[in-house]
Amino acid sequence: MKREGNEEVDQDFAAKLAAHLGFEEEKVNHLFEKKYLAWNWGEHEHLLRFDKEISHIERGTVLYEKDGAFEMVLGFPKIRRAMVLYPTLEKQFSGLKTVAVEEKMNGYNVRVARINGDILAVTRSGYICPYTTERAKVKLNLSFFDDFPELVLYGEMVGPDNPYVPKEIYNIESVEFYIFDIREKNTGNPLSTARRREILEKYGFFQVRSFGEIPLETAPEEIAKIVRELGKIEHEGVVIKDPEMVLPPVKYTSSRSNCSDLRHAFKFYNESGRDYMLSRIVREGFQAVEWEESEADFKKRCMQLGESILAPLRESVRSVKEGQRLYDEVRIRVKTLKTAADFEDYLKRLGVDAIFEPPLPAGDEYLIMVRKVNKSTNDKTQAIWEGELW
């Protein structure tokens, strides 16, 4: 079977995979051709990745052969955003008495599982990140996977030693995994919030903060209060869940975190997703109405929103005009320099233009600063300064 190019797929393998997924063989071939199904590379070349949602199989799902059959670690399902709390919660959670409210932490989404004997950390898109994998092995109580080989931990990797979403707001010195979900391999069925918390406690995992189960009736009011408080300390917001994890969760974020997302998004305006930017702007309009704010508070919101869009834009436009390159500076902390080298290769492979500074010893680990160059925003801004049209 050819693993690099995807164009030629061993037909026995395709047939076996088709039978497993309940697809026509032709469909499997088509998925390979379109690269919706793609192999990982290097030591993980035997792991397939869904690059698109296919027939209810989440994007980012990882699939591989195990004991002559297949096994899947499902992608983390998209969480829809509530623009207003009332009547959204009533409608989305209709039939429930209470909802479980948890803090939504701001880092990056990781799945950790035992895959054919190895503990691996999988990113949202289904890649095996060497940095995250090393951190998972250092940070997590791995005996969990001896006891529950069929379960997958879903969590947020948060803290400053973070190559994707570095944040100083959680009083974390380096980086930690905060688990928010446990699901079964193959089916993706989640554990109830109570069972999940019980297991996580037993193994001593960090878990996202719980605000408890709140009656659906009073939830909009109570959650508005919680989110206002979280906003004050620059925390992101909440995820509201069916305690049994049958109905899909809903997220709701603070204005402060919206603005902080926008600041980053507009700094690198040409690489940021349009929907990502637009949903966060539109949300401010809905929140302004729902929270019935005074004219003075509204003016404040306008200023904050406007500044979080324009200030980074002005900064980027000016920097490029003055001949500087735009980049994101992030930091990683590794046990071995091999992890850093593997991570450097990994980013290159993903097309991220990153410059790794020389490692600085930190205890028995190393700190490495990484500059991620945002080529697309650089090039676009440069072109505009050279007289090109939008």
Min dist. Cβ of residue 68 to ligand ATP (A): 33
Measured from the CB atom, the residue of 198 and 388 that comes closer to ligand ATP is 198
Nearest-approach distance from CB 312 to ligand ATP, in angstroms: 19
Smaller CB separation from ligand ATP, 102 or 134:
102
Q: Of 120 and 208, which has the nearer Cβ to ligand ATP?
A: 208
Closer CB to ligand ATP, 170 or 180, in the complex: 180
**121 or 239: CB nearest ligand ATP:** 239
| Residues lying near ligand ATP in the complex (CB under 6 A) | 76, 78-79, 102-105, 109, 156, 180, 208, 239, 251
To the nearest whole angstrom, how small is the minimum distance from the Cβ of residue 384 to ligand ATP? 28
Which residue's CB is nearer to ligand ATP, number 258 or number 378? 258
The CB-of-171 to ligand ATP minimum distance in angstroms stands at 17
Peptide bond into 87 cis (omega under 30): yes
Nearest-approach distance from CB 113 to ligand ATP, in angstroms: 16
Rounded to 5 degrees, φ, ψ at 13 are -65, -45
Q: Using CB positions, name the residue nearest to ligand ATP.
A: 109
Report, in Å, the least distance between residue 154 CB and ligand ATP.
Answer: 8
User: Which is closer to ligand ATP, CB of 104 or CB of 301?
Assistant: 104
For residues 44 and 104, which CB has a smaller minimum distance to ligand ATP in the complex? 104
SS (H, E, C) the chain: CCCCCCCCCCHHHHHHHHHHHCCCHHHHHHHHHCCCEEECCHHHCCCEEECCCECCECCCCEEEEECCEEEEECCCCCCEECCCCCCHHHHHCCCCCEEEEEEECCCEEEEEEEECCEEEEEECCCCECHHHHHHHHHHCCCHHHHHCCCEEEEEEEECCCCCCCCCCCCCCCCCEEEEEEEEECCCCCECCHHHHHHHHHHHCCCECCEEEEEEHHHHHHHHHHHHHHHHHCCCCEEEEECCCCCCCCEEEECHHHHHHHHHHHHHCCCCCCHHHHHHHHHHHHHHHHHCCCCHHHHHHHHHHHHHHHHHHHHHHHHHHHCCCCCEEEEEEEECCHHHHHHHHHHHHHCCCEEEECCCEEECCEEEEEEEEECHHHHHHHHHHHCCCCC
Q: How far is the CB of 9 from ligand ATP (least distance, A)?
A: 29
Cβ at position 270, least distance to ligand ATP in Å: 18
Q: Which of 66, 102, 100, 68 is nearest to 185 (CA)?
A: 66
- Minimum distance from CB of 104 to ligand ATP (Å)? 4
Q: How far apart are CA 340 and CA 335, in angstroms?
A: 9
In the bound state with ligand ATP, the residue whose beta carbon lies nearer, of 219 and 239, is: 239
